[in-house]
């Protein structure tokens, strides 16, 4: 019996001994790793691990600092299970830490070249936010060391170091930035070396070949988006969630993309490279502002000439880039042009506006408005020189059209006196913005002039042209001058063409009532009006509701009195001058009333014929195109074009006519005078309505 018990005991001890011997190599490998890790001996740790583990998890001198972040369980270990691995020299060993069955690690052991078994990897079961997952220590260490390498490269590394740790898309965008701009990006994100080396405990979330790593910083949190490519981790984007709003960087990829677009835009603008600008600007900005503009007239600062570092503000779908120069700063407004919600789609930014700010705060100039203003001015100036009425109407303000160009549409402006504007293209000197008013200062011929535009952005219209003059008797405003010269020109043109409706629309209600509303053809006595009235005015005087225009001089010309009716100036009286003597001057309204008065008797007819005969001694109406008669009188001499008061009184008494004419319709509208007419060549036979 005793012999049997002794034999059984010896058999049991032998089994235990055999079991211990079977796990001795695994225990030795795991114990060597655990002891080196516990002692913080990096060299011994490297000796107890495989080449693959060394390359991924222990490649840095700071690897021990990062491995502590993983918080691997420590204590007495006992092997629970050993399985053969997928390879011949590989084993999978399940180890329990202490007495708790919940603290278990899975070691992967491999046999190295000298026959020793070493640790190739460790798998830890981790529980996070209600989810349990098994993570590889090698993968986690590789990721943490990649984060460390990223921080080192972005704090003290050179340009190549910065680009080497980034994913291809981010690296491509960063490589397009000037060195100083790249340095400003990295500094804004990771801060100084001291801050990057401060104590931190990264929080890493792995999902296959992607990971999100959050690092606490003094200024907030640094969030790295990382991607695994060719078995190495690269940073695909960085966000800085700073406590101060001014320091926040929602996305380095977006920031760098917008910054790259801004830099390329400024370089292309400086080179007038419109083929490149069409790719960098929004279609609207390019088409309305850049396409036809002379970019050299409005220089913008470039990154190489900037007086201070740039500023960049990134918003949801927009970005603002600000670059200062010596006397002004430029702000580029960029907009994202593609869908931000599509994963993996790189951002694309386009410049939609450039705004120049004077450093003293006196000016704010939008490039679109500036070039639109310049382009509109040049088109208007060309149309004015070419007498192109449709283009003038298209580029002028509503008020300019209403008071001048719309009135000229039926007859054109071929003979309109515009001698004050030189027949040369303007050269832009400067552009000044005053809210909704834009002033383009130019040199045109011998004169400095100012084109005044109203409106905003792409809808800028010419409202006036300021033409300085040494003659204080003439207004400097071209629009105000044309407002009173136009009806004179229209009346003369209507007489020349035998167009009574045109004459009626340019005459006052009183003039129409007494004369033009009574006839269907042009009276012969009016035939010389074009000779006297067409030409560059020598004097223009404007009151609140009246105006006076003088054409020619004391030897030949006319003095026209105008009144404002329904917002437009119209001719109320015209004094025709053929010489200095009183007999060589007569009021057109009186003479025409005399012709119309032939209905009252032969004396009136005879008087009218005598008046007309005197007028007939003057030159004929002249060629189709109006030209100003030569003047022998010096314009510096006082001009007296007033009629002889007693002669006028006698004439009015002789030809007193009370015949009523057409009255203004109710509501203030002018009567319609659109009846077709033809010139009556007879001296005394008038056609009366």
- Taking the CB of residue 548, how many other CB atoms lie within 10 A of it? 18
Question: What tokens appear for 150 in the block?
Answer: 């990223």
Integer Cα distance of 543 and 15 in angstroms? 127
- In this prediction the pTM is 0.64
Residue 128: per-residue pLDDT: 63
Residue with tokens 């002028």: 396
Residues belonging to the chain: 689
Number of H helices, E strands in the chain: 24, 23
Q: Are strands 364-366 and 349-358 parallel, antiparallel or unpaired?
A: antiparallel
Q: Is the dihedral of CA 106, 111, 112, 114 positive or negative?
A: positive
Classify residue 408 by burial, with Cβ atoms within 10 Å: 0-12, 13-18, 19+: buried
Whether the pLDDT of residue 166 is over 90: the answer is yes
Rounded to the nearest 5°, which phi and psi values hold at 330?
A: -115, 135
Residue 246: per-residue pLDDT: 79
Residue 331: per-residue pLDDT: 92
Relative orientation angle of helices 588-596 and 602-616, to the nearest 10 degrees: 140
Residues 161, 164, 168, 169: what is their CA dihedral angle, to the nearest 10 degrees? -20
Residue 312 near residue 219, CB atoms below 8 Å: no
Integer Cα distance of 369 and 456 in angstroms? 7
**In what helix (H) or strand (E) does residue 57 lie, and over which residues does it extend?**
helix 51-57
Integer Cα distance of 559 and 553 in angstroms? 9
Integer Cα distance of 205 and 207 in angstroms? 7
What are 226-265's pLDDT values in tens digits?
999 998 999 999 999 888 887 888 899 999 999 999 999 9
Listed residue (318, 309, 316, 312) closest to 331, CA to CA? 312
Residue 193 near residue 162, CB atoms below 8 Å: no
Whether the pLDDT of residue 670 is over 60: the answer is no
Whether the pLDDT of residue 623 is over 70: the answer is no
Mean pLDDT value of segment 186-210: 74
Residue with tokens 């057109």: 588
Residue 343: per-residue pLDDT: 56
- Taking the CB of residue 402, how many other CB atoms lie within 10 A of it? 14
Question: What tokens appear for 261 in the block?
Answer: 């677009």
For 129-231, strand residue ranges (E) read 131-136, 203-207, 210-217, 220-229
Whether the pLDDT of residue 665 is over 50: the answer is no
Listed residue (530, 541, 549) closest to 628, CA to CA? 530
Whether the pLDDT of residue 350 is over 70: the answer is yes
Integer Cα distance of 320 and 128 in angstroms? 40
Residue with tokens 């002249």: 622
Q: How would residue 442 be classed by pLDDT, with cut points 50, 70 and 90?
A: very high
Residue 312: per-residue pLDDT: 87
Determine the 3-state secondary structure of 422 from DSSP. Answer: coil
Integer Cα distance of 217 and 221 in angstroms? 5
129 vs 268: which has the higher pLDDT? 268
- Percent above pLDDT 90 for the chain: 38
Residue 520 near residue 667, CB atoms below 8 Å: no
What are 462-493's pLDDT values in tens digits?
999 999 887 777 788 999 999 999 999 999 99
Question: What tokens appear for 561 in the block?
Answer: 């009195």
Residue 285 near residue 352, CB atoms below 8 Å: yes
What are 509-524's pLDDT values in tens digits?
999 999 999 888 998 8
Question: What tokens appear for 101 in the block?
Answer: 């069955």
Give the N- to C-terminal CA distance of the chain in Å, as an integer: 160
Determine the 3-state secondary structure of 80 from DSSP. Answer: strand
412 vs 636: which has the higher pLDDT? 412
Integer Cα distance of 156 and 675 in angstroms? 90
- For residues 288-309, one letter each, b for 16 or more C-beta atoms within 10 angstroms of the residue's C-beta and e for the rest, the string is bbbeebebeebebbbbeebeee
What are 568-589's pLDDT values in tens digits?
999 999 999 998 888 889 899 9
Q: Which residues contact 597 (CB under 8 A, 6 or more apart)?
A: 604, 608, 655, 657, 659
Least confidently predicted of 42-56, 184-198, 614-628, 665-679? 665-679
Whether the pLDDT of residue 194 is over 50: the answer is yes
**Long-range CB contacts (< 8 A, 24+ apart) of 598-601?**
598/684, 598/686, 599/659, 599/688, 600/655, 600/657
């Amino acid at each position: 019996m005793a012999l049997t018990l002794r034999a059984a005991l010896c058999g049991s001890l032998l089994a235990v001994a055999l079991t211990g011997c079977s796990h001795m190599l695994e225990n030795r490998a795991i114990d060597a790793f655990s002891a080196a890790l516990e002692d913080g001996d990096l060299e011994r740790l490297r000796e107890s691990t495989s080449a693959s583990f060394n390359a991924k998890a222990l490649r840095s001198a700071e690897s021990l600092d990062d491995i502590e972040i993983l918080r691997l369980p420590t204590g007495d270990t006992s092997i629970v299970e050993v399985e053969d691995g997928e390879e011949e020299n590989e084993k999978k060993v399940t180890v329990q830490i202490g007495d708790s069955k919940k603290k278990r690690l899975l070691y992967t052991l491999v046999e190295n070249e000298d026959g020793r078994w070493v640790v190739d990897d460790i798998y830890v079961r981790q529980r996070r936010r209600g989810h349990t997952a098994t993570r590889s220590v090698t993968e986690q260490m590789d990721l943490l060391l990649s984060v460390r390498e990223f921080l080192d490269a972005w704090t003290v590394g050179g340009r190549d170091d910065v680009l080497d740790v980034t994913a291809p898309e981010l690296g491509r965008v960063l490589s397009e930035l000037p060195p100083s701009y790249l340095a400003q990006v990295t500094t804004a994100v990771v801060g100084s070396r001291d801050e990057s080396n401060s104590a931190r405990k990264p929080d890493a979330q792995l999902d296959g070949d992607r990971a999100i790593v959050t690092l606490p910083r003094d200024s907030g949190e640094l969030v790295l988006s990382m991607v695994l490519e060719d078995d190495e981790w690269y940073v695909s984007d960085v966000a800085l969630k700073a406590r101060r709003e001014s320091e926040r960087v929602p996305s380095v990829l977006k920031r760098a993309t917008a910054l790259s677009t801004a830099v390329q835009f400024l370089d292309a603008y400086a080179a007038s490279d419109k083929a490149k600008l069409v790719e960098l600007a929004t279609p609207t900005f390019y088409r309305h502002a850049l396409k036809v503009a002379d970019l050299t007239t409005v220089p913008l600062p470039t990154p190489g000439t900037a007086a201070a570092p740039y500023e960049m503000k990134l918003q949801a779908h927009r970005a603002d880039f600000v670059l200062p120069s010596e006397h002004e700063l430029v702000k580029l407004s960029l907009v994202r042009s593609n869908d931000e919600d599509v994963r993996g789609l790189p951002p694309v930014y386009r410049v939609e506006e450039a705004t120049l700010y004077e450093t003293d705060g006196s000016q704010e100039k939008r490039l679109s408005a500036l070039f639109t203003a310049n382009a509109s001015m040049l088109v208007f100036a060309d149309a004015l020189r070419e007498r192109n009425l449709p283009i003038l109407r298209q580029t002028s303000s509503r008020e300019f059209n209403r008071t001048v160009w719309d009135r000229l549409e039926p007859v054109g402006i071929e003979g309109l006196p515009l001698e004050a504007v030189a027949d040369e293209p303007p050269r832009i000197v400067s552009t000044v913005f005053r809210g909704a008013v834009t002033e383009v200062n130019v040199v045109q011929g011998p004169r400095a002039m100012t084109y005044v535009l109203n409106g905003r952005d792409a809808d800028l219209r010419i409202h006036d042209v300021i033409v300085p003059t040494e003659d204080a008797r003439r207004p400097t405003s071209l629009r105000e001058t044309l407002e009173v010269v136009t009806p004179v020109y229209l009346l003369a043109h209507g007489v020349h063409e035998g167009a009574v409706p045109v004459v009626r629309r340019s005459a006052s209600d009183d003039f129409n009532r007494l004369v033009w509303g009574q006839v269907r053809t042009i009276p012969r006595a009016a035939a010389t009006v074009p000779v006297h009235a067409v030409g560059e005015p020598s004097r223009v005087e404007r009151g609140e509701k009246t105006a006076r225009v003088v054409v020619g001089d004391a030897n030949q010309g006319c003095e026209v009195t105008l009144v404002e009716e329904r917002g437009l100036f119209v001719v109320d009286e015209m004094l025709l001058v053929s010489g200095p003597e009183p007999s060589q001057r007569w009021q057109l309204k009186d003479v025409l009333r005399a012709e119309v008065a032939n209905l009252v008797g032969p004396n009136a007819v005879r008087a009218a014929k005598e008046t007309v005969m005197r007028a007939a001694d003057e030159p004929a109406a002249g060629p189709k195109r109006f030209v100003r008669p030569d003047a022998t009188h010096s314009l510096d001499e006082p001009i007296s074009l007033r009629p002889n008061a007693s002669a006028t009184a006698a004439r009015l008494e002789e030809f007193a006519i009370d015949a009523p004419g057409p009255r203004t319709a109710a509501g203030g509208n002018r009567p319609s005078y659109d009846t077709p007419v033809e010139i009556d060549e007879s001296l005394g036979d008038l056609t009366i309505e």
